[in-house]
Amino acid sequence: MVVALAGILVVVTLNVRLERGAGPPVLPDIYYLTEKMPVGQSTVPALAGAQWGTIIGAPQGGPAPVRPPECGVFLSEREATQKVLALRSANGAAIGVELALTLHPVDVDSLVQTCATFSVTTPALRSTTRLVAAQFGPIPPEAIGVEMHTMTMTDTQSLAWRIAMIVGTHRGVLVTAEYTPGPCGVFDPALAAKLPALYRAQVARLDKI
């Protein structure tokens, strides 16, 4: 009996070692976000005059009036069950990360083509966005790099936005690392070039949860 038990233990141990040697363990999806999940302030690149802040909550209401609707993934109004933002911001400029749990899986690979041009129309504003693929540096295969060029018009003003993003899905979480100089601000390519490292740091952070 002891020999048989020892044999089973040896087999089990060997199997575990073989599985570990085959690659990193596959971690389960995350179904609930907390304030501990985003990267910390020290990981996010500095932004002149910016203040650090985190926000966690469940978006209210339905999806944003976006056409095509799939492109709502690029807007804060995106239909989601939960969101966490951790960023430096000042006068519309911002750099940081956003985590979101969406009601349906997001096909990230198709977004550049599907959302080459998309719009938002509400009683208060009209917005048109041109989306282009962008190379900021090496990123994981599940992610894409994009730039958004948006013109937003209201009855009283017109604002232009340029936003750099790395977007991907990891452990069931939609992860976005983003930078914008704010409306009509001067875009800093050096800050955009830091987004891949920020995205990778956020993914690594989720793997520690």
Tens-digit pLDDT profile for residues 116-136: 999 999 899 899 999 999 999
Q: Where are the domains of the chain?
A: 29-206
**Lowest-confidence pick of 43-52, 68-77, 104-113, 158-167:** 68-77
Tens-digit pLDDT profile for residues 80-96: 889 999 999 999 999 99
pTM: 0.85
Going by pLDDT thresholds of 50, 70 and 90, the confidence category of residue 50 is very high
Tens-digit pLDDT profile for residues 140-173: 999 999 999 999 999 999 999 999 999 999 999 9
CA atoms within 13 A on the CB side of 111: 27
Q: What percent of the chain has pLDDT over 90?
A: 71
CB 91 within 8 A of CB 49: yes
Hey, what long-range contacts does 58-66 have (CB within 8 A, 24 or more apart)? 58/82, 58/83, 59/83, 64/120, 65/120, 65/121, 65/122, 66/118, 66/119, 66/120
| Rounded-to-integer distance, Cα 51 and Cα 47, Å | 8
Torsion, Cα 39 102 69 191, to 10 degrees, reads 10
What is 29-206's CATH topology? Protein Transport Mog1p; Chain A (3.40.1000)
